[in-house]
């Protein structure tokens, strides 16, 4: 029998960081997962500076030598490109398996009890099991991903909205040509390039159709295809789903949801992991205060700014003509792009977007 203050279903980055945050608030924590480290996932593998800062605030310092620093974001369209450096800090490109291994070690050092090869199952309305063990816990957190079984069991599946896109990821050994994360735009598809080592890049595509594999997507981006043409492919292609999912509630009774189980934003924002890490810190605060309703409110605040940015970027994905005009306007006004990136990276301040959007609107009229 497992007895603890907080039981977390799901041992990915969201569950591990939530466990570490709760341990630092004095809770006895158990994390269980049906897999075993190191767990992989198809993603862009870029940690933005705000994600690293959130981890540091929880006492988690990642080894920069295990990844590759990057210094900003670059958007590239058919005829335009614009880039901006981060206003503070640097990002870190890191293989998902390496990140997971580092977070496992941090959780062990924090005193989180970890159960691997222990799938979490539900029995009836009020019983949980982890492998062969029955669970008794004061609080329960679901960090078991976008298809969360715990979310269904808790009756928290009701949604405000949902949208899906489909991604594929592969790694190439190639001479590094960028110290930014690149987002290449084409009709109905983007390709993201993240440096994760001095001679390795992660290349990931996102599209609205489920069967657009990387080899089919790359010809839409001739310059990128040329850069990768003679590169060594060092991993097999891995696919996944990028969901934009907004739930009506993420708490019920003594149960809370975190990470993709609690809803998610399209990967175009690059903020998926940062959202999960911020949620972990907010959940730990709410548990320490014995006020899960505080986590519900914090979850909405954490989501609000990145959700607006996701809506704006997905609008560009859907409207080819608008995207071309926006990228051209930003290319002629790089300071506006820098202001937008700075707002996106900091604490969300709605007024912080007024000047960039006004300037961008004028730029659209004069392109």
Token pair for residue 61?
């310092």
Return the minimum-mean-pLDDT range out of 24-33, 205-214, 264-273, 348-357: 348-357
Q: What is the mean pLDDT of the chain?
A: 91
Q: Is the peptide bond before 287 cis (omega within 30 degrees of 0)?
A: no
**pLDDT digit string (tens) for 235-294?**
999 999 998 999 999 999 999 999 999 999 988 888 889 999 999 999 999 999 999 999
Burial of 354 per CB tally in 10 Å (0-12, 13-18, 19+): exposed
* 31 and 114 both lie in a single domain: yes
* 14 and 123 both lie in a single domain: yes
Residue 365 is predicted with a pLDDT of: 46
* 302 and 326 both lie in a single domain: no
Among 312, 340, 358, residue at a domain's last position: 312
* 256 and 308 both lie in a single domain: yes
* 323 and 358 both lie in a single domain: yes
Token pair for residue 251?
């708490």
On whether the CB atoms of residues 72 and 83 are closer than 8 A, the answer is yes
Give how many domains the chain has, as a whole number: 2
Question: Cα angle at 188 between 187 and 190, to 5 degrees?
Answer: 90
Q: Are strands 29-32 and 113-115 parallel, antiparallel or unpaired?
A: parallel
Residue 348 is predicted with a pLDDT of: 47
| pLDDT exceeds cutoff 90 at 193 | yes
Domain residue limits at 276: 2-40+94-162+245-312
198 in a domain, yes or no? no
Among 290, 312, 334, residue at a domain's last position: 312
8 in a domain, yes or no? yes
- Identify the CATH number of the domain in which residue 26 sits: 3.50.50.60
212 in a domain, yes or no? no
* 302 and 339 both lie in a single domain: no
* 157 and 250 both lie in a single domain: yes
* 133 and 25 both lie in a single domain: yes
Burial of 349 per CB tally in 10 Å (0-12, 13-18, 19+): exposed
Residue 361 is predicted with a pLDDT of: 58
Question: Pick from 217, 309, 247, 298: which is nearest to 272 by CA?
Answer: 309
Token pair for residue 276?
């999960």
| pLDDT exceeds cutoff 90 at 62 | yes
Q: How confident is the model at residue 340 (pLDDT cuts 50, 70, 90)?
A: confident
122 in a domain, yes or no? yes
Residue 289 is predicted with a pLDDT of: 94
Token pair for residue 74?
């670059």
* 306 and 324 both lie in a single domain: no
**pLDDT digit string (tens) for 137-185?**
999 999 999 999 999 999 999 999 889 999 999 999 998 899 999 999 9
* 30 and 107 both lie in a single domain: yes
25 in a domain, yes or no? yes
Give the whole-angstrom CA distance, residue 248 versus residue 262.
10
205 in a domain, yes or no? no
Residue 197 is predicted with a pLDDT of: 95
Residue 353 is predicted with a pLDDT of: 52
Residue 271 is predicted with a pLDDT of: 87
**pLDDT digit string (tens) for 216-242?**
999 999 999 999 999 999 999 999 999
50 in a domain, yes or no? no
Give the whole-angstrom CA distance, residue 259 versus residue 317.
24
How big is the chain by its Cα radius of gyration, in Å? 21
Among 269, 290, 312, residue at a domain's last position: 312
* 304 and 252 both lie in a single domain: yes
| pLDDT exceeds cutoff 80 at 357 | no
Give the whole-angstrom CA distance, residue 147 versus residue 261.
7
* Coil, strand or helix at 361: helix
């Amino acid at each position: 029998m497992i007895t603890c203050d907080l039981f977390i279903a799901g041992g990915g980055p969201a569950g591990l960081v939530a466990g570490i945050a709760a341990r630092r608030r004095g809770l006895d924590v158990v994390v269980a997962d049906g897999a075993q480290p190191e767990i992989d996932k198809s993603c862009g593998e870029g940690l933005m500076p705000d994600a690293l800062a959130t981890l540091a605030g929880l006492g988690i310092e990642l080894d920069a030598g295990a990844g590759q620093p990057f210094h900003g974001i670059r958007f590239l369209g058919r005829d335009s490109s614009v880039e901006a450096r981060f206003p503070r800090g640097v990002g870190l490109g890191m293989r998902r398996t390496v990140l997971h291994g580092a977070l496992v070690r941090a959780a062990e050092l924090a005193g989180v009890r970890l159960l691997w090869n222990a799938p979490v199952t539900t029995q009836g309305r009020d019983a949980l099991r982890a492998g062969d063990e029955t669970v008794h816990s004061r609080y329960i957190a679901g960090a078991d991903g976008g298809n969360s079984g715990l979310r269904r069991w808790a009756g928290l599946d009701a949604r405000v909205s949902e949208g899906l896109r489909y991604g594929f990821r592969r790694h190439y050994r190639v001479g590094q040509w960028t110290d930014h994360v690149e987002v290449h735009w084409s009709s109905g598809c983007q390709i993201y390039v993240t440096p994760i080592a001095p001679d390795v890049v992660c290349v990931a595509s996102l599209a609205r159709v489920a069967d657009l594999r990387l080899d089919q997507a790359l010809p839409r981006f001739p310059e990128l295809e040329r850069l990768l043409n003679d590169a060594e492919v060092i991993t097999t292609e891995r696919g996944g789903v990028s969901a934009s999912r907004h739930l009506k509630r993420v708490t019920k009774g003594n149960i809370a949801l975190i990470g993709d189980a609690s809803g998610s934003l399209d990967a175009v924002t690059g903020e998926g992991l940062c959202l999960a890490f911020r949620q972990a810190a907010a959940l730990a605060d709410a548990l320490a205060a014995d006020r899960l309703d505080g986590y519900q409110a914090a979850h909405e605040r954490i989501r609000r700014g990145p959700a607006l940015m996701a809506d704006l970027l997905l609008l560009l994905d859907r409207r080819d003509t608008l995207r071309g005009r926006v990228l051209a306007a930003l290319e002629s006004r790089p300071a506006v792009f820098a202001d937008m990136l700075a707002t996106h990276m900091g604490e969300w301040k709605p007024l912080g977007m007024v000047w960039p959007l006004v300037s961008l609107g004028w730029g659209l009229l004069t392109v």
